[in-house]
Amino acid sequence: MSAPQPSAKAFVPFVSVETMMRLVHHIGIETMLVELAGAIEADFRRWDVFDKTPRIASHSNDGVIELMPTSDGEIYAFKYVNGHPKNMAQGLQTVTAFGLLAQVSTGYPLLLTEMTLLTALRTAATSAMAARHLAPKGVTTMAMIGNGAQAEFQALAMKALLGIKTVRLYDIDPQATEKTRRNLTGSGLELITCNTAQAAIEGAGIITTCTADKQYATILTDNMVGAGVHINAIGGDCPGKTELHKDILLRADTFVEYSPQTRIEGEIQQMAEDYPVTELWQVVSGATAGRRDQNQITLFDSVGFAIEDFSALRYVHQKLSGTGLSQDLDIIADPDDPRDLFGMLQRAK
Amino acid sequence: MSAPQPSAKAFVPFVSVETMMRLVHHIGIETMLVELAGAIEADFRRWDVFDKTPRIASHSNDGVIELMPTSDGEIYAFKYVNGHPKNMAQGLQTVTAFGLLAQVSTGYPLLLTEMTLLTALRTAATSAMAARHLAPKGVTTMAMIGNGAQAEFQALAMKALLGIKTVRLYDIDPQATEKTRRNLTGSGLELITCNTAQAAIEGAGIITTCTADKQYATILTDNMVGAGVHINAIGGDCPGKTELHKDILLRADTFVEYSPQTRIEGEIQQMAEDYPVTELWQVVSGATAGRRDQNQITLFDSVGFAIEDFSALRYVHQKLSGTGLSQDLDIIADPDDPRDLFGMLQRAK
């Protein structure tokens, strides 16, 4: 007997890397960044309904593999993501990811998708969403320290959501800066290549740090940072990996995604366990003020949280509807009689 | 510019449900059950090297969605699995699953595969592996209480690994028993349909319970179970879901996979937190005796553990080699220059 065709219930819509790229261009990168920020902000406003847990990390000498699940009671999402700073030397991505959306009531998957690109987009969207609440009013210049895979996404998100006009670029490797400059040429942003981190932050109202070394690094020292800036710290995102000198933290007001996770992974791993922080959802929901005055230093100690991936996955799932872009993946066994799994196997012989 | 082809590094071998069925028939079901039991036993012998954590469960009124990660330091594996007893009424599987194998040193996936079928196979292989250490010598008859999707796999594993000749079938729904009998006709097993659980266990040296209700049920009561049997309890596998009366546990010696998880999910959730149990790996490694005498009641309080999935995934990965059965999935973004993720996206326009 020939193999029976899987039932429709057995198929899970799958978005490959190529399909994700087509979807991004179909929507437009800047539009997508704005819409993603909106989706994330909307979910941050209903923070209470989500199952929240620090991500489940498997650490090794070379990096970390993490699972990031969450659920709002109707939809469940998780992301698989790795972080391997040494990968780049082998021609591999530091961060790769894929994710899944499922129906809570049945446990059946709704969507399986690449998330390397989607994580880059949602990380930038989250940064810009936070900056919209925390950066000084009327900011037009940002410093981008660390010009790796995340740099262009950050610059475009800050442009699209905050009207940033000038990006001051610095990386320890000039080729990385050159790559970023080349990719952003034609974006409408003024691009300034800087030779030091100090030079990059001159006149910048937003300072984004996004470097990848797995070590306690000091990308910014205290005397470099003046009053009235917003620091968007992306790269301190796992135990043993920070970017900012402790003294900067002491002068800043620190905002985080989910404090139990950030205390493990973020810049504040350098601080005492009860170091005061504000969770960003409190600002988004209006319960707490964001920036209070123009001289305040605000710090978004961002490590990435499961709810951002949930929002991004749901957004992609909605946007796919009617495009015909996804393909069907036969990943769920679904015999006609659910108890007859063995019969399905037997008939396939 | 046309979309560039993904690099070879971007492809992850994928095993669909149809491909898994072909692989099973290529190897042979009973051979595969024996080899899977061998792979699981080999990994239980090196228990110490694994990262172990109770699975991460997201509970709802309708069921549970779980992530089950583990790693031996070189290879990382996780499984996504749901358990929704009410699914069957909607024509859906109670349990569906898929899983991933990845390289710890890079975080890059090695294999993505359906695991609904593979979970059924590894669960039966684990049961039979445990029974090989715990069941009375020379046992030829088993009772199979609960004739759902797992039943035939259990019967064939006990046949292949222990030489079981007779299976006494009982289910609250006679159609389930009829389905199981039909599927096992021609397997070489003598099949006896029973009208009660009590009738099913008559003369059986192994009693397997595998029912799916999410509730505290009492499939077996104390006075039903005589001396000298091995109870293989599969269905008590999440909080609020048990199958055995507490008094049976008190007369039995209880063996578990990983006690921190089993105390949450297994039959022993009915007992005190310090209720004495033996972890199966201790028996497998020879550190502790399994069955001590012919009158002892042994109980394998099985809930399923991540290492069993790790073993099954690695086995499938090895067996696929050279078969050409898997397909390549473009799920990992991999630009030529790993820092040039944005450039890859841009060039796809």
- Residues B40-95 pLDDT 10s: 999 999 999 999 887 899 989 888 999 999 999 999 999 999 989 889 888 888 88
Chain A residue with minimum CA distance to B328: A16
Distance from CA of A227 to the nearest CA of B (A): 32
Q: In whole angstroms, what is the distance from residue A146 CA to residue A219 CA?
A: 9
> Around A108, how many Cα atoms within 13 Å sit in the side-chain half-sphere?
23
Number of inter-chain CB pairs under 8 A, A vs B: 259
**What average pLDDT is seen over chain B?**
93
Q: In whole angstroms, what is the distance from residue B258 CA to residue B53 CA?
A: 9
Interchain pair B340, A92: CB under 8 A: no
B191, B220 contact by CB (below 8 A): no
Active site residue B51: no
Q: Which of B51, B62, B213, B237 is catalytic?
A: B237
Structure confidence at residue A7 as a pLDDT band (50, 70, 90): low
Nearest to A341 among B51, B117, B334 (CB): B117
Check residue B120 and give its pLDDT: 95
Find the radius of gyration of the CA atoms of chain B: 21
Phi/psi-derived region of residue B188, left when phi > 0, alpha when psi is between -120 and 50, beta in every other case = left
C-alpha distance from residue A125 to each of A131, A158, A188 (Å): 10, 8, 19
Contacts of B348 in chain A (CB under 8 A): 18, 21-22, 25
List A residues 62-101 in contact with B (Cβ-Cβ < 8 A). Answer: 62-65, 67, 69, 71, 73, 76, 78, 80, 82-84, 87-88, 90-94, 96, 98, 100
C-alpha distance from residue A222 to each of A198, A211, A218, B317 (Å): 11, 18, 10, 51
Residue count of chain A, please give it.
349
A152, B335 contact by CB (below 8 A): no
To the nearest whole percent, how much of chain B has pLDDT over 70?
97
- For every residue of A121-185, DSSP letters joined together read HHHHHHHHHHHHHHSPTT--EEEEE--STTHHHHHHHHHHHH---EEEEE-SSHHHHHHHHHHHT
**pLDDT tens-digit map of B217-269:** 788 888 888 899 999 999 777 788 888 989 999 999 999 999 999 999 899 99
Check residue A5 and give its pLDDT: 54
> Around A244, how many Cα atoms within 13 Å sit in the side-chain half-sphere?
32
How would you classify the pairing of strands A297-301 and A252-256? parallel
B341, A24 contact by CB (below 8 A): no
Check residue A1 and give its pLDDT: 36
Reduced to 3 DSSP states, what percent helix, strand and coil does chain B have, rounded to the nearest 5?
A: 40, 25, 35
List B residues 147-166 in contact with A (Cβ-Cβ < 8 A). Answer: 147-153
Q: Which helix (H) or strand (E) holds B181?
A: helix B174-184
Listed residue (B302, B257, B292, B251) closest to B137, CA to CA: B292
A118, A109 contact by CB (below 8 A): no
Least confident of A214-228, A264-278, B334-348: A214-228
The residues, any chain, with a CB within 8 Å of residue A287's CB and separated by 6 or more, are none
Contacts of A73 in chain B (CB under 8 A): 60
B119, B125 contact by CB (below 8 A): no
Q: Which two tokens stand for residue B261?
A: 């998880």
> Around B97, how many Cα atoms within 13 Å sit in the side-chain half-sphere?
28
Nearest to A346 among B18, B51, B183 (CB): B183
A199, A98 contact by CB (below 8 A): no
**Quick check: A2 contacting B, CB < 8 Å?**
no
More confident call, A42 vs B335 = A42
Indicate if the pLDDT at residue A2 is higher than 60: no
Disruptive mutation site among A104, A112, A113 for chain B (greatest number of B CBs within 10 Å): A104
Q: In this predicted complex, what is the ipTM?
A: 0.92
B12, B331 contact by CB (below 8 A): yes
Q: What domains can be seen in chain A, in order of their start residue?
A: 8-117+307-347 (3.30.1780.10), 127-305 (3.40.50.720)
Structure confidence at residue B2 as a pLDDT band (50, 70, 90): very low
Q: Which helix (H) or strand (E) holds B21?
A: helix B17-27
Token pair 């399905």: residue: A344
Q: In whole angstroms, what is the distance from residue B97 CA to residue A261 CA?
A: 28
Indicate if the pLDDT at residue A140 is higher than 60: yes
Check residue A242 and give its pLDDT: 87
Structure confidence at residue B6 as a pLDDT band (50, 70, 90): low
B87, B96 contact by CB (below 8 A): no
Q: Which helix (H) or strand (E) holds A40?
A: helix A29-45
Interchain pair B148, A94: CB under 8 A: no
Catalytically active residues of A are: 237
For residue A136, which amino acid is it? P
Q: In whole angstroms, what is the distance from residue A166 CA to residue A275 CA?
A: 34
Most distant CA pair in chain B: distance in Å?
A: 76
Using DSSP's 3-state secondary structure scheme, residue A244 falls into strand
Indicate if the pLDDT at residue A317 is higher than 90: yes
Q: Which helix (H) or strand (E) holds A193?
A: strand A190-193
